[in-house]
Structure 1
């Protein structure tokens, strides 16, 4: 049986990097570093820590590049490494998420069900307000809204239940709305 291989536009650079080309590694870094820094920053909330995450993620990626099998794009593979590195940094900061029972989740879902219409905010204002969220809320909100993970994936990444991810997301959404209202943004 043939293994499916996804060829992206930077395939040749990945192949050269696997062969030990420092020039190819630098080019991959140049192509992906800005986007990956943004991913890390949205998760950790600090540019200094995001830069550290970025460097560690690229070192990890280049040390493991021989394991990359082109089953996805290099960018998606690298993004997973960045996300995991950023989350590990948060765990080092003793990130604690509270497990909630089903009845508590239902209560929160009922409170939020009438609030399903999304309010349009300017992206910069929302991102600025997100910086004020508690770390756990910001993390789940970022992974869900900005990085496109679903609650099952977030649960696996953060080692929490899918219900906890949903609860953190609903609470983060509510808290973000409070912050925006307090700032007069509506």
Structure 2
């Protein structure tokens, strides 16, 4: 019989809800590396990502009573980490560029010289994107959020999310073509 994935680590979560520090530490050990990777992709600063991870776990354990198994614990925690990472960028006044009023044209053609399978080129290209574009690319392509979810996370419209994604993708292709 197949176990329901929503209840992954249910015993640890339930013990953590009741304040069991050992269970909280075990959950921390299970998820800290993955959550750090999520945060560092957004923030690009090791120390900031480490701070965000610690704050995220503290908040998660404080609010564990509100966790209702509507998603996996990991997904719930990931959402906290992403929101905290983005809020950290906002507090540093790194703007998300609203593009509602701008017309955009998307070229679906990819230059033949771009080797999409070259992960290093893509990572290097993403690192060179402006922060607003980088956020959209990471949330959409890497983290797997759709534009509705991204609009809620960033506090922008769905149209802005789509627009920024297409501009970011176009800019990323231009950057990769320069390598």
Q: TM-score, normalization: structure 2?
A: 0.89
Q: Which residue of 2 aligns with 1:155?
A: 151
Q: How far apart, CA to CA, are the structure 1 residues paired with 2:125 and 2:5?
A: 38
* Correspondence 1:93-172 to 2 at 5 A: 93-94=92-93, 95-101=95-101, 104-105=103-104, 108-109=105-106, 112-115=107-110, 120-172=116-168
| Pairing of 1:35-54 with structure 2 (within 5 A) | 35-54=34-53
Give the whole-Å Cα distance in 2 for the aligned partners of 1:157 and 1:113: 27
Distance 1:150 1:177 in 2: 21
Deviation of residue 70 (structure 1)? Answer: 1.3
Between stretches 172-181 and 129-138, larger displacement belongs to 172-181
| Cα shift at 1:128 | 2.4
Per-residue Cα deviation, 1:50-73 (whole angstroms, up to 9, x for no partner): 111111111110110111111211
RMSD (Å), alpha carbons: 2.1
Give the match's secondary structure for 1:70: coil
1:7 Cα deviation after fit:
4.0
Which deviations, in whole Å up to 9, do the C-alpha atoms of 1:4-30 show, x marking residues without a partner?
Answer: x97422110000101111000000000
Q: How many Å separate the matches in 2 of 1:27 and 1:89?
A: 26
Q: Sort the Cα spacing of 1:47 and 1:12 in 2 relative to 1 into closer, same or farther, 3 A.
A: same
After TM superposition, give the deviation of residue 182 of structure 1 in Å.
1.3
Deviation at 1:158, TM superposition (A): 0.6
Residue 83 of structure 1 aligns with which residue?
82
Structure 1: stretches of 5+ with no match in the other structure: none
Size of the alignment, in residue pairs?
174
After superposition, give the CA deviation of every residue in 1:74-130 in whole Å (9 maximum; x if it has no partner).
Answer: 00100010010011011112223123337x03xx23xx2344999523223311221
Conserved in 1, the CA contact under 8 Å of 2:140 and 2:147?
Answer: yes
- Whether the 8 Å contact between 1:36 and 1:79 is mirrored in structure 2 is yes
TM-score (norm 1): 0.86
Instruction: Measure the CA separation in 2 of the matches of 1:50 and 1:132.
Output: 19
Q: 1:60 aligned to 2:55?
A: no
CA distance in 2 between counterparts of 1:123 and 1:115 reads: 16
Asked if the contact 2:39/2:81 (under 8 Å) is kept, the reply is yes
